[in-house]
A and B are shown apart, each in its own frame.
Chain A
Amino acid sequence: MRASAVRKRGMVGAVAVVAALALSACGGGSAGSSESAAPLDPKADLSKQTLTVSNWADYTNPDVLTSFTSEFGTPVTMATHASNEEIMGKLTAGGDSGIDIAFVSGQYAQALDRAGLLEHLDQSLIPNLKNLYPEASTLAYDVGNVYSVPYAWGTTGLCYRSDLVKETPDSWDAILNPPDDTKGKITMLGSERWLLLPALKKLGYSNNTVDPAELEKAKELTLAAKKNLLTYDDTTFYNRLVSGESVMAVAWDGWCSYAIAENPDVKFVLPKEGSDIWTDTLVVLKSSKNKEAAHAFLNSILDAKNQSWVATTALSKVPNKASMDMVGAELAKQYPAMGMTPAEIVQQEQILDLGDKTAEYTKIATEITAS
């Protein structure tokens, strides 16, 4: 009896400790980003620093890593994440993630900065910023590249098999109101911000809207399109186009180029109603103890030759003028989307972080997929 009473008190104690731990761990996410960091030392010995970089798989040039380590003596460990959501989860879980540099899309960089997790960059340590197109410093998620440098950019459009569709698409209607011959052979992106993009643009709304009435209309349109879909697919839609399992896909331009590389009958078109700008960026975490090396790494990525790898191998446009001058013209012959100019890109609408309202998009996505 006594023992069990002790045990019960023990349990209560344990729960109290757990609750206290939980409470102390959860303050994260609301810290301001204004606290001043220690100034960086431009003469720091980089060989005494190490870097852990998290990126999507196959999105970093392995040669850049080796040459960086041999030039500065800084060992670099690569980690991979499958999605923005995954790296966000790691970085916001509290405590030091151990990651110095992360590759995230622009709106996630914005969210991480709002959460107070990003180091504001010392641009004097990144002289290669001069290689960027002027437009690349005007993107709405981070005007002036305060806390991020852009790695690749592009837009979202329609990727289709010109040999297997009767009508050449030029509008989001190809997804929302498809002709009979493509019904059941269409894939859409399932990530919520892109899930609603076709409907929002078709309706002439901003793809950052948080107006409930607009979202409701976009939801209805997207829901109606579901019956004509093969599946939602963010990761293998280009394989499906190549195999002919699907004939039309909502696709990021760079990923459509993967399909074009394997089958020249695949084409990309930017719908006439307009689309988004997606930007993949590099950010340095405020928690990093290797910030000088991190800046040097960013600078090395922005080197004209290094960043051209992203265009030639990952087949994504890069916001680096020097790189595109080297390889852009040649690539545009095979991949027309590569020929899109910065001026054309910035006519589209940058996807932005919606803060609290992000959950609205998740809820709508659930309502669409669960119905």
Chain B
Amino acid sequence: MPVVHGSGARRRRTRASRAIYLGPGLLYITLFMAIPMGFILSYAFLEKAPYGGVRLSFSLDSFTRALEPVYVSVLENTLLIASITTLLALVIGYPVAYAIAKLPPKWRTVAVILVVLPFWSNFLIRTYAWILLLNSEGIMNKGLLAVGVIDHPLALLYTREAVILGLLYAYLPLMILPLYASMERLDWSLLEAARNLGAGRARAFVDVTFPLTLPAAMIGAIFVFVPSVGNFIVPELLGGGKTVMVGNLVRDQFLKARDWPFGSVLALTMVGFLVLLFAVQGYVARRINIGDSRA
């Protein structure tokens, strides 16, 4: 126990209560995040053993391997797919959140429940449902053929677009919810003030509503982007294994190639992107807050 200087009973109590409040969270983070991350970090610098596991000898080979063109292109492809997904989620999610926030209070709850409703059924099953909808003998193609819009089935499934659709479908609620939360708490009188001072609808939106909801939009973007980068089920099921993302690579290194060090390096790359994103989000949010306090 560290010595408490100039101790007062109150200060000790504050410390004790702080420990009680923080304890469970810290324990959780240590056990399930810090320690596993420590493993991944140490594995990244070791040599692989032939049947999984690692040999205790220092090596940077896994890092140089990650720079081989095939892996770089997988990473680029992943970032592209995740970025498009995030952008679409923002474009679709923003108006939805706005509309929900404008609903009468009792309908808001209903709308929010509808948004989270898909989470009540299993993700894998919902992804399989898209296979039934999109395949060449599926409902979509059969329907379009029946009404004569197309004369032969479209290749909707097993494309990069199908992967983006699947990810968008899966993570759109994660964009809508933080946006809705921020819009619901938005001080609409600021908007009225802007209008009273002569700003048009568009101007008021650009100068008032959008900046105030930007931090939430960025949180939503992170919520969508991060799991999109790591997802390996959607590219496998809807991409037909013809599209590879970093998540698939990481899994394959651990399970198929039995190359734990390389899998660790790839996993660290994903963590690196995550940290970078949070740094950007934090920076932007701070900038907006500073702007607020000056105004």
Q: Which label, helix, strand, loop or mixed, suits the secondary structure of the B interface?
A: mixed
- What's the nearest-Cβ distance from chain A to residue B258, in Å? 6
Task: Map CB proximity to A onto B253-281 as digits: 1 under 8 Å, 0 otherwise.
Answer: 11111111000000000000000000000
Question: Which residue of B38, B49, B242 contacts A26 across the interface (Cβ within 8 Å)?
Answer: B49
List residues of A (207-259) whose CB comes within 8 Å of B's CBs: 226, 229-233, 243-245
CB atoms of B242 and A88 under 8 A apart: no
Asked if A86 lies at the interface with its beta carbon under 8 angstroms from chain B, I say yes
Question: Which residue of B30, B50, B77, B242 contacts A226 across the interface (Cβ within 8 Å)?
Answer: B242
14 residue pairs of the A-B complex, CB under 8 angstroms, read A3-B2, A14-B34, A18-B34, A18-B39, A21-B39, A23-B42, A28-B49, A85-B256, A88-B51, A94-B53, A184-B155, A230-B158, A233-B241, A358-B257
Question: Which residue of B30, B49, B241 contacts A14 across the interface (Cβ within 8 Å)?
Answer: B30
Note all chain B residues with C-beta closer than 8 A to A6.
2
Note all chain A residues with C-beta closer than 8 A to B50.
29-30, 114-115, 355-356, 358
With A229-B242, A230-B158 already in contact, the answer to whether A362 and B252 are too (CB < 8 A) is yes
- What's the nearest-Cβ distance from chain A to residue B210, in Å? 38
- What's the nearest-Cβ distance from chain A to residue B133, in Å? 13
Note all chain A residues with C-beta closer than 8 A to B254.
89
Note all chain B residues with C-beta closer than 8 A to A77.
none
Asked if B204 lies at the interface with its beta carbon under 8 angstroms from chain A, I say no
Beyond contacts A6-B2, A92-B51, A370-B244: 19 other A-B pairs, Cβ-Cβ < 8 A, are: A14-B30, A21-B39, A25-B39, A26-B46, A26-B49, A26-B54, A26-B56, A111-B51, A114-B51, A226-B242, A244-B137, A355-B51, A356-B50, A359-B258, A359-B259, A365-B252, A366-B71, A370-B77, A371-B70
Note all chain B residues with C-beta closer than 8 A to A363.
70, 257
Note all chain A residues with C-beta closer than 8 A to B2.
2-3, 6
Note all chain B residues with C-beta closer than 8 A to A115.
50-52
CB atoms of A22 and B137 under 8 A apart: no
CB atoms of A370 and B70 under 8 A apart: yes
Question: Which residue of A21, A230, A355, A362 contacts B35 across the interface (Cβ within 8 Å)?
Answer: A21
Chain B interface (Cβ < 8 Å from any Cβ of A): 2, 30, 34-35, 38-39, 42-43, 46, 48-56, 70-71, 73-74, 77, 135-137, 155, 157-158, 240-244, 249, 252-260
Note all chain B residues with C-beta closer than 8 A to A365.
252, 256
CB atoms of B70 and A366 under 8 A apart: yes
CB atoms of A362 and B256 under 8 A apart: yes
With A19-B42, A362-B256 already in contact, the answer to whether A369 and B49 are too (CB < 8 A) is no
Note all chain B residues with C-beta closer than 8 A to A14.
30, 34-35, 38
Note all chain B residues with C-beta closer than 8 A to A28.
49, 51-53
- What's the nearest-Cβ distance from chain A to residue B63, in Å? 16
Note all chain A residues with C-beta closer than 8 A to B242.
226, 229, 231-232, 369
Asked if A32 lies at the interface with its beta carbon under 8 angstroms from chain B, I say no
CB atoms of A362 and B253 under 8 A apart: yes
* Nearest-CB residue, chain A, relative to B73: A370
- What's the nearest-Cβ distance from chain A to residue B255, in Å? 4
CB atoms of B244 and A27 under 8 A apart: no
User: In the complex the two chains form, what is the Cα distance from A27 to B137 in whole Å?
Assistant: 51
CB atoms of B35 and A29 under 8 A apart: no
Note all chain A residues with C-beta closer than 8 A to B252.
362, 365-366
Which 4 A-B pairs rank lowest in CB-CB distance, beginning with the nearest?
Answer: A231-B240, A18-B38, A362-B257, A232-B241
User: In the complex the two chains form, what is the Cα distance from A92 to B257 in whole Å?
Assistant: 13
Asked if A325 lies at the interface with its beta carbon under 8 angstroms from chain B, I say no
* Nearest-CB residue, chain A, relative to B65: A363
Question: Which residue of B48, B52, B244 contacts A93 across the interface (Cβ within 8 Å)?
Answer: B52
User: In the complex the two chains form, what is the Cα distance from A344 to B63 in whole Å?
Assistant: 47
Note all chain B residues with C-beta closer than 8 A to A26.
43, 46, 49, 53-56, 260
How big is chain A's contact interface, by range?
35 or more
List residues of A (246-293) whose CB comes within 8 Å of B's CBs: none
- What's the nearest-Cβ distance from chain B to residue A28, in Å? 5
- What's the nearest-Cβ distance from chain A to residue B79, in Å? 14
User: In the complex the two chains form, what is the Cα distance from A89 to B136 in whole Å?
Assistant: 35
Asked if A190 lies at the interface with its beta carbon under 8 angstroms from chain B, I say yes
Question: Which residue of B30, B38, B48, B136 contacts A245 across the interface (Cβ within 8 Å)?
Answer: B136
Note all chain B residues with C-beta closer than 8 A to A358.
50, 256-258
CB atoms of A29 and B53 under 8 A apart: yes
Note all chain A residues with C-beta closer than 8 A to B135.
245
Task: Map CB proximity to B onto A85-102 as digits: 1 under 8 Å, 0 otherwise.
Answer: 110110011100000000
User: In the complex the two chains form, what is the Cα distance from A251 to B257 in whole Å?
Assistant: 23
- What's the nearest-Cβ distance from chain B to residue A142, in Å? 16
With A28-B49, A243-B137 already in contact, the answer to whether A22 and B42 are too (CB < 8 A) is yes
CB atoms of A367 and B70 under 8 A apart: yes
- What's the nearest-Cβ distance from chain A to residue B20, in Å? 17
- What's the nearest-Cβ distance from chain A to residue B117, in Å? 27
User: In the complex the two chains form, what is the Cα distance from A344 to B260 in whole Å?
Assistant: 39
Note all chain A residues with C-beta closer than 8 A to B74.
366, 370
CB atoms of A85 and B255 under 8 A apart: yes
* Nearest-CB residue, chain A, relative to B158: A231
List residues of A (338-371) whose CB comes within 8 Å of B's CBs: 355-356, 358-359, 362-363, 365-367, 369-371
CB atoms of B240 and A230 under 8 A apart: yes
* Nearest-CB residue, chain B, relative to A115: B51
- What's the nearest-Cβ distance from chain A to residue B91, in Å? 28
CB atoms of B241 and A30 under 8 A apart: no
CB atoms of B241 and A369 under 8 A apart: yes
Asked if A192 lies at the interface with its beta carbon under 8 angstroms from chain B, I say yes
- What's the nearest-Cβ distance from chain B to residue A243, in Å? 5
Asked if A165 lies at the interface with its beta carbon under 8 angstroms from chain B, I say no
User: In the complex the two chains form, what is the Cα distance from A67 to B135 in whole Å?
Assistant: 43
User: In the complex the two chains form, what is the Cα distance from A229 to B155 in whole Å?
Assistant: 11
User: In the complex the two chains form, what is the Cα distance from A276 to B51 in whole Å?
Assistant: 23
List residues of A (16-54) whose CB comes within 8 Å of B's CBs: 18-19, 21-23, 25-30
- What's the nearest-Cβ distance from chain A to residue B294, in Å? 31
Asked if A326 lies at the interface with its beta carbon under 8 angstroms from chain B, I say no
Note all chain B residues with C-beta closer than 8 A to A191.
256
CB atoms of B52 and A22 under 8 A apart: no
* Nearest-CB residue, chain A, relative to B131: A236
